[in-house]
Amino acid sequence: MIIYIIRRLLYTIPIVFGVLLLTFVLFTLVGGDISIEIAGKGASAATINEIRQEYGLNKPLFLSWDSQFVNHFKSALTFDFGRARDREPVIDKIKRGAGPSLALMVPIFVGTIIISVSLALIIAFLRGTVWDSLTVIICVAGMSIPYLSFILFGQYFLAYKWGLSPVFFSPDLSMAQYTALPILIGIVTGLGGEVRFYRTVMLDEMRSDYVRTAFAKGLSTRRVLFKHVLKNAMIPIITRVVLAIPFLFLGSLLLERFFGIPGLGYLMIEAIGSRDYFVINAMTYISAILFVIFNVITDICYAWVDPRVSFD
Amino acid sequence: MYLPPGIKNLSQKEFALKLSSVVFTAALLVIAGCEGAPSGEDANEAVIYAVMPSKIQGFDPGYTSGIYSAQVASEIFECLYQYHYLKRPYKLIPQLAEGMPEVSRDNLTYTIRIKKGIYFADDKCFADGKGRELKASDFVFAWKRIANIKYLSPNWWIFEHKILGLDEFREYTKSCKGQFDVDYSLGIEGLETPDDYTIVIRLKKPWPQIMYLLAFPPTAPIAKEAVDYYGKDIIRHPVGTGPFKLNVWNRGSYIELVKNPNFREEYYPSEGEEGDRENGFLADAGKRLPLVDKISWLIIEEEQPMWLQFLRGKLDASAIPKDSFGNAISPSRELTSDMKERNIRLVKIHDPDTYFIGFNMEDPVLGNNKPLRQAISCGYNRAGETELFWNNAWDVAYGFIPPMFEAYNPKIKEIGQRYDPEKANQLLKQAEKIYGGKLPKLRLTIGATDTQSRQLGQYNKRCLEEIGLEIELEFMDWPIFMEKLNTKSCQIFSVGWMADYPDTETFLQVFYSKNASPGPNHYNYSSKKFDEIYEKAVVMPNSPERTELYRQAEQTVLEDCPAVCALHRVRYILCHDWLGNYKGHVFPYGVWKYRKVDVTKRAAYKELLKKG
């Protein structure tokens, strides 16, 4: 197993290199020169040149030990992402944004999984009934409605009209107060797709011979569902759940923006808008690393839940 | 469908339904408990809750360039001069200066005395943590710092080629290793401090606009101790002499300023313009400033939450979102009855800006074809744009000088640019003759990719296609757009220009040939006649002769038509009745010290909301 993990971790090297190369090409070669924008209005060529020097944009792109790409690579490997365009160290920005993003995304993630898996089990159990059909209709409707509509609707009715929650962040509110509504919206918007997916997974299992055998042996419904069906449905659940974890780090752009939560989703989009290459580079790199790590964890989990999977 | 045994077990179904209802009820209960929970708000504290529609870069006035950063910094830092809060047209009055400057006969030397007994806010950057007295050298340090090329200030345009010796100082900084290796003790001929309270500025050539720039936040004095102590982090550790100091800056969420206990004695003005007394703007005349304990800016970039926060009384003032305009403003441009019932007031602000459809005069098709440019100007329906996109609130532009400027020509509606599709068709025929056949497809570039900008681009295209032109649209992000402008790569483009100070020169500079791209003259317009007028007017002090020259310059541009003058922006701001002394100001630097809140009225509004 250790050899397997080492081998998988070695695979990450070309992946990370590819990510770094891609971000570099996209923002350096395609994105254009940021120095003119930083220089301000009517800046002279000398000022623009000085900015290029400060940000290392006057160095060769590839073919040198001190090239822009090598420096980009070095900063990623040492986790020294430098300072953002507003002169704040990039790592400080990420540390500050990670808390609010996770405070929002972890409850949404956990809540969505618990509710969707439970509902899927129940619906799979009630398949063919009116409850099953109703749930499928609601799920499809939920998936069809744009995410933004849930936010606008929730904010207008639950917060503004009915006063059940604050409309927006305020310094005198606790985190629980200003994140409660976005968490609820995040969970509700995610349920449609998740419930449908898990229902399909559960239904596949419910049709299996071992389920009929279990019922024939006289096992209780609860035992069949939770002990047998759920355990056998774990492979697709793990794939979906574990691989979703790295994206929690990226936060939710729309929820953060509409509810004033200063998380990483907001940070990333702003960085793209203002071409803050240093922030984009750091966020992309960290996301890529997390994704690769969680991919390995997913594989390990497969073996843990399914004895048929081996590392050979 | 195969159904396993046990599926009809009703107790399981009941269990399932109960489980789902428990989860959702719990979620709703958590939500419902949120709004009513106790908060840390002190009801008697005079706090202004304002909105910031964008994140700010920081609090270092020399380094930041955005309007919002400058607005917040101007509450912490002060300049030599400031705009009178109430008087219109906008008038400069001393802020840190003792009086108006003594100007030499040749208009090249300005001697300014600063007030004594002004102290920086207490900060750990000072030896004993107590703010020291402001000195003339703090101004010179701040300006040299902007000149320091390694500091990468976007505000160098203010001083470039203006002060004796400062450009040479900038040249010297090129040889320094980093921004903190520059020797600021080096003397500069044009910036002297004969004593701690006097600054002598010597200019290379007359520069009457200097007075406005001495009221511009980037020229505020900076304590060298703060720069040395905080280094690059000074962007989040402002140490100024202003009425407020920074309490909390939660980047991306909110900014909180509190009263600076070291702030000197400054009083609310006792004079204003006509109607100010009747409108209650002089009720606080003679009161010591600031009038509130705290200002809290919430950063809200989306319109819906900003608007809902305002309606719930969590914000004291707000702009009106485009989609809610009809709910707030009636067709007669008055407040709707719903807004009046809430005791909300309307403040209209005519911004000192002009939006253009510009032409690259170096483009072979457009540059040599004046009838073509004029045809585009005549074919652009400006009133249609304001109706379709700006709720009919913006003013149609006939020239590039906005109405608030002294040089605004009262006859501009008759002699300026206007929508005239018939004339456009005639001009287009002339344009085709000059071109020698059917005109090629023209490319219009828009420096934004959001939905509204795309819609506006489509509208521009439609207007020009209606007169028979073929238009190709291209949309791009602002930085790439700027790069294209700076490299003269656009053909037709959409831009705006906002005045930094109330002198028409700020608009004229964008048509001056020596400011061609990468300078602000992105039209690359070059007219000997215009340049002569500009060079003559720009060094003249304010006078009727200068105003006349400004108007001549405008007329020259309108005739040559390097750009279509489209619209002047008008902002509609709503205020709750508890926000007092809120008078619109287009140079909103250091204005919050004059504003006040009535906490009783704010509490009454909350009661009104509870009653529904």
Residue A89 domain flag: no
Q: Is B404 in the same domain as B341?
A: no
Are A180 and A265 part of one and the same domain? yes
Residue A127 lies in a domain: yes
A108 & A37 share domain = no
Interface of B with A in 78-97 (CB under 8 A): none
Task: Please give the interface size between A and B, counted as residue pairs whose CB atoms are below 8 Å apart.
Answer: 196
One domain for residues B325 and B409: no
**Whether residue B168 is found in the same domain as residue B265:** no
Percent of chain B with pLDDT over 70: 93
Domain end marker among B220, B242, B264: B242
What integer pLDDT is reported at residue A32 of this predicted model? 64
Phi, psi at residue A233, to the nearest 5°? -90, 5
Q: Are residues B281 and B298 in the same domain?
A: yes
- At B39 the pLDDT is 46
Of B503 and B612, more confident = B503
Q: How many domains does chain B have?
A: 3
Pair (A122, A72) in one structural domain? no
The model's pTM is: 0.84
Whether residue A85 is contained in a domain is answered as no
Residue ranges making up the domain that contains A22: 2-77
Report the domain count for chain A: 2
Among A50, A119, A166, beta carbon nearest to B149: A50
Q: Is the Cβ pair B253, A260 closer than 8 Å?
A: yes
The answer on B470 and B503 residing in a single domain is: yes
Tell me which of A17, A47, A77 is where a domain ends: A77
User: Residue B261: which CATH number?
Assistant: 3.40.190.10
A49 belongs to a structural domain = yes
Statement to judge: residues B423 and B559 lie in one domain: yes
Instruction: Quickly list DSSP for B451-503.
Output: HHHHHHHHHHHHHHHHTT--EEEEE--HHHHHHHHHTT--SEEEEEEE-SSSS
Last residue of a domain, one of A77, A112, A144: A77
Residue A311: inside a domain: no
**Residue A87 counted as domain residue:** no
B97, B176: one domain: yes
Nearest chain A residue to B178 by CA: give it. A54
Question: Do A293 and A219 belong to one domain?
Answer: yes
Indicate whether B420 and B564 sit together in one domain: yes
CA dist., res. B298 & res. B295, Å (int): 10
The predicted pLDDT at position A311 comes to 64
Per residue in B264-307, pLDDT tens?
999 999 999 999 999 999 999 999 999 999 999 999 988 899 99
Pair (B498, B431) in one structural domain: yes
Task: Test B16 with A126 for CB contact under 8 angstroms.
Answer: yes
- CATH assignment at residue A105: 1.10.3720.10
Contact B6 A270 (CB under 8 A): no
| Same domain membership, residue A235 and residue A145 | yes
Q: What is the DSSP string of B580-606?
A: ES----SS-SS-GGG-EE-HHHHHHHH
Please identify among residues 295-324 of chain B the ones whose CB lies closer than 8 Å to any CB of chain A. 296, 298-302, 304-305, 308-309, 311-312, 314
Q: In terms of DSSP bridges, do strands B294-299 and B47-52 run parallel, antiparallel, or are they unpaired?
A: parallel
Among candidates B31, B41, B301 on the partner chain, residue whose Cβ is nearest the Cβ of A180: B31
Residue-wise pLDDT for A48-100, tens only, equals: 777 788 778 888 888 788 888 888 888 888 888 888 877 788 998 899 888 88
Tell me which residue of B241, B224, B223 sits closest to B118, measured CA to CA: B241
Give a yes or no: residue B95 inside a domain: yes
Cross-chain CB nearest to B235 (options A43, A50, A86): A86
Q: pLDDT by residue (tens digit) across B374-413?
A: 999 999 999 999 999 998 889 999 999 999 999 999 999 9
Domain boundary (A77, A108, A142) is at A77
One domain for residues B38 and B155:
no
Look at residue B449 and tell me whether its pLDDT is greater than 80. no
**pLDDT tens series, chain A, 312 aa:** 778 778 878 887 888 888 888 888 877 776 666 777 676 656 677 777 777 887 788 888 887 888 888 888 888 888 888 888 777 889 988 998 888 899 999 999 999 999 998 899 888 888 888 999 999 999 999 999 998 999 999 999 999 998 899 999 988 888 888 899 999 999 999 999 999 999 998 888 888 888 889 889 888 888 888 888 888 888 888 888 888 888 887 778 889 989 988 888 888 887 877 777 788 888 888 888 888 888 888 888 877 777 777 666
Q: Which residues of A touch B486 (CB under 8 A)?
A: 36
Tell me which residue in B152, B479, B482 faces A54 most closely, judged by beta carbons: B152
* Nearest chain A Cα distance for residue B7, angstroms: 7
Residue B466: which CATH number? Answer: 3.10.105.10
What are the distances in angstroms from CA A137 to CA A112, A126, A141?
Answer: 18, 15, 6
**Residues B312 and B415 reside in one and the same domain:** no
Which residues lie across from A105 on neighbouring strands? none
Q: What is the Cβ-side half-sphere exposure of residue B352, based on CA atoms within 13 angstroms?
A: 22
Domain boundary among the residues B199, B218, B242 is at B242
Same domain, A122 and A218: yes
Closest residue of chain A to B487, computed from CA coordinates: A36
B204 to chain A, minimum CA–CA distance in Å?
19
Q: Do residues A114 and A51 share a domain?
A: no
CA B362, distance to chain mean position in Å, is 30
Domain containing B606 equals 2-57+245-349+574-611
Between chains, do A215 and B4 touch, taking CB under 8 Å as contact?
yes
Does residue B70 form part of some domain?
no
